[in-house]
C-alpha cells in the first residue's frame, strides 16, 4: 500500500536547463496537488489537477512552469529555463475523488539550481 511517490528525490540543474518532477498519487487517488516550499517557509499551493484536467492553477507562476496529469502515468511538474530562485522543495499531494479534505503528501523533490 504505497503512499505518494515522487522522483527524483534530489535534482540539480544549471541555470537555463529544464527540470521535470514526477508524482505518482496513492492508489485509488485521482486528485493531485503540487506545492512549493522555499527555505525556512511554509508550503505554497501551485496547482491542482485531476486526470487530464487542470482544475486550479492559481498558484503557478505565469511563465516557465507547467503541470500535467495524463490519463496514464504520473503527474509531471515541468520548469523550463530554471533560475536560482526556483531552488526549493516541491511536494506533491493526492486525495481521493470524494475526500478532497484529506491530502496525503509525498516525500518531496529538492531542486537545486546552480
Partner 1 sequence: GEDVEQSLFLSVREGDSSVINCTYTDSSSTYLYWYKQEPGAGLQLLTYIFSNMDMKQDQRLTVLLNKKDKHLSLRIADTQTGDSAIYFCALKTGTASKLTFGTGTRLQVTL
Nearer to partner 1, 17 or 104 (CB): 104
* Residues 60-89 as x/- pattern, contact with partner 1 by CB under 8 A: ------------------------------
3-state helix/strand/coil string of 26-95:
CCCCCEEEEEEECCCCCEEEEEEEECCEEEECCCCCCCCEEEECCCCCCEEEEECCCCHHHCEEEEEEEE
CB of residue 81 to partner 1, shortest distance in Å: 26
45, 64, 66, 68: residue in contact with partner 1 (rule CB under 8 A): 45
Amino acid at each position: 500500500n504505497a503512499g505518494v511517490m515522487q522522483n527524483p528525490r534530489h535534482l540539480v540543474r544549471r541555470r537555463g536547463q529544464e527540470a521535470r518532477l514526477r508524482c505518482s498519487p496513492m492508489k485509488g487517488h485521482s486528485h493531485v496537488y503540487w506545492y512549493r516550499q522555499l527555505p525556512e517557509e511554509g508550503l505554497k499551493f501551485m496547482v491542482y489537477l485531476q486526470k487530464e484536467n487542470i482544475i486550479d492553477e492559481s498558484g503557478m507562476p505565469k511563465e516557465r512552469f507547467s503541470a500535467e496529469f495524463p490519463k496514464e502515468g504520473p503527474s509531471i511538474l515541468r520548469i523550463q529555463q530554471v533560475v536560482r530562485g526556483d531552488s526549493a522543495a516541491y511536494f506533491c499531494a493526492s486525495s481521493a475523488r470524494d475526500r478532497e479534505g484529506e491530502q496525503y503528501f509525498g516525500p518531496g523533490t529538492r531542486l537545486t539550481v546552480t
